[in-house]
Amino acid sequence: MTAAPKAAAFASQADLADKQVSFTQLSPHAWAYTAEGDPNTGIVVGDDAVMVIDTQATPVMAADVIRRIRNITDKPIRYVVLSHYHAVRVLGASAYRPEHIIASEDTLALIRERGEQDKASEIGRFPRLFRNVESVPPGLTWPTLTFSGRMTLWLGKLEVQLLQLGRGHTKGDTVVWLPGERTLFSGDLVEFDATPYAGDAYFSDWPATLDAVAALHPAQLVPGRGAALADEAQVAAGLAGTRAFIGDVWASVRAGAAAGKDLTTVYRETMAALRPKYGHWVIFEHCMPFDVSRAYDEATAHRDPRIWTAERDIEMWKALEA
């Protein structure tokens, strides 16, 4: 008698090994805090103040970012920018004690609509990334300053642009652009050797948004996950890899949905098609059930992403990974 295959551990609950942190200077005013595929944080050191882009998941985890900032400058951390609303990016904000937490109006709308559910969902998926979750203050992380489309800030003589280039990872995605140094902080619009999480994505919009990123001609880029991209060839590779993954998932799922196949069948076929090319990428097994579920929704009945709750997470995982 053959034993039934063992179900995969839910999401990233089995991912408990610490990652090696790197703190890399990319241009005169820009640094990248990266950790082998864990969520990245960007740092801009201006003439009179510091900006942090994405905060880490808890204040205790953010403390390591602050320690590294203080090794290079004692200037005040005046701004925290949220590239999007996901809890793993925003819940460490209180540690920086910034004057302003900045986000797009679309990101603010998503926090209002689904912030509580997303917080519970993500904490359940990523126990290692929410280390010391008890250090997160009660409630949600709320922006104190919002914008639509574009905002320009001056850190002394350093120009910093906050741009919405289109929908992709979420509808509120914001990139931070240093035009004088051609350095870009992309959030999760771009990943490098790390699987894009697309559970709240717009698959049909994402490629055009990547075109808009490429049109800036970044010389350096800090992706949402993966190593910092230090030259134009690496930037091109990051953009191409992200574009290929999104396109391959969308093509497979859309074809399956058009053929009238159910989600479970489409998931199995898409996993089989993509694993040879992307299976070695960080969090591939974690992301794919969420990514295929969202793509199937978009290809069928749900143009806008549905809210993920902790309960929906488990139901989906059991249905697809049983």
pLDDT band at 15 (very low <50, low <70, confident <90, very high): low
Q: What is the pLDDT of residues 91-126, one digit of tens each?
A: 999 999 999 999 999 999 999 999 999 999 999 888
Closest CA to 135 of 123, 125, 144, 143: 123
Task: Indicate the domain borders of the chain.
Answer: 22-246
> Is 33 in a helix, a strand, or coil?
strand
In the numeric block, which tokens belong to residue 319? 């249905």
Is residue 71 classed exposed, middle or buried when 0-12, 13-18 and 19+ CB atoms within 10 A define those classes? exposed
Closest CA to 219 of 258, 177, 157, 164: 177
Q: What is the pTM of this model?
A: 0.95
Closest CA to 176 of 157, 150, 196: 150
pLDDT, mean of residues 55-61: 95
Distance between CA atoms of residues 301 and 305, nearest Å: 10
Identify whether the C-beta of residue 202 lies closer than 8 Å to the C-beta of residue 296.
no
Per the prediction, the chain carries an average pLDDT of 94
Distance between CA atoms of residues 88 and 314, nearest Å: 19
Q: Which residues contact 45 (CB under 8 A, 6 or more apart)?
A: 29, 30, 31, 69, 72, 73, 75, 155
Residue spans of beta strands (DSSP E) within the chain: 22-27, 30-35, 38-45, 50-53, 77-81, 100-104, 145-147, 150-155, 158-163, 175-178, 183-187, 220-223
DSSP 290: H
In the numeric block, which tokens belong to residue 52? 């942090």
Identify whether the C-beta of residue 95 lies closer than 8 Å to the C-beta of residue 129.
no
CATH number of 22-246: 3.60.15.10
pLDDT, mean of residues 31-53: 96
Distance between CA atoms of residues 201 and 206, nearest Å: 8
* Largest CA-CA distance found in the chain, in angstroms, rounded: 73
Q: What is the pLDDT of residues 254-289, one digit of tens each?
A: 999 999 999 999 999 999 999 999 999 999 999 999
Q: What is the pLDDT of residues 165-184, one digit of tens each?
A: 999 999 999 999 999 999 99
